[in-house]
Amino acid sequence: MALETTLSIIKPDAVAKKVSGRILSRLEEQFNVVAMKKLHLTREQAQAFYAVHKERPFYPALIDFMTSGPVVVLALEGEDAIKRYRELMGATDSTKAAAGTIRKDFGTDMQKNAVHGSDSVENGIRETRFFFAP
């Protein structure tokens, strides 16, 4: 195991439902929150952040969703943080996420799934740098 950094985004659906504080509590229990800010993503920021998905059919709707309201962005640090945070989030489809996960408890469906999490050590570093100075 190694000390890793992963990027979390509390998405517009969760912020609008006023559960960002409850999600933050779960994150704080398991990780060191090294940076955090609330912002409203521009279309340019959302398009750049999700550029890896730009050929996917869900991409235009994802950009609309991610720019529909404010988000909370957090850099989380901890041992094995990438995998442990993916487990805490749950499956992409909130309706199929395991009991007790953030997506099961606060998400709605495949798109409105409450939180983002990095999927690899490299992307954890890249995505954290996208939002935060070193």
Out of 28, 37, 58, 87, the only residue in the binding site for ligand ADP (CB under 6 A) is 58
**How far apart are the C-alpha atoms of 125 and 51, rounded to whole Å?**
16
Out of 116, 127, 128, 131, the only residue in the binding site for ligand ADP (CB under 6 A) is 116
43 and 66 Cβ atoms separated by less than 8 Å: no
Residue 116 designated active-site: yes
Bridge partners (DSSP) of residue 9 are 73, 116
Question: Which two three-digit tokens encode residue 123?
Answer: 């992307």
**How do 71-79 and 32-39 pair as beta strands?**
antiparallel
Q: Cα-Cα-Cα-Cα dihedral of 51, 44, 32, 6, to 10°? A: 10
- Please identify, among the stretches 26-34, 39-47, 71-79, 106-114, the one whose residues bind ligand ADP according to the rule CB under 6 A: 106-114
Type of residue at 30: Q
**Active-site residue, selected from the candidate residues 81, 102, 116, 131:** 116
62 is a site residue for ligand ADP (CB under 6 A)? yes
128 is a site residue for ligand ADP (CB under 6 A)? no
Q: Of the two residues 18 and 127, which places its CB atom closer to Mg ion in the complex?
A: 127
Q: Residue with the closest Cβ to Mg ion? A: 119
* CA triple 43-97-42, angle to 5 deg: 10
**How far apart are the C-alpha atoms of 43 and 50, rounded to whole Å?**
11
Out of 119, 123, 125, 132, the only residue in the binding site for ligand ADP (CB under 6 A) is 119
98 is a site residue for ligand ADP (CB under 6 A)? no
Q: How many residues bind Mg ion (CB under 5 A)?
A: 1
The residues that touch ligand ADP, with contacts defined as CB under 6 A, are 58, 62, 92, 110-111, 113, 116, 119
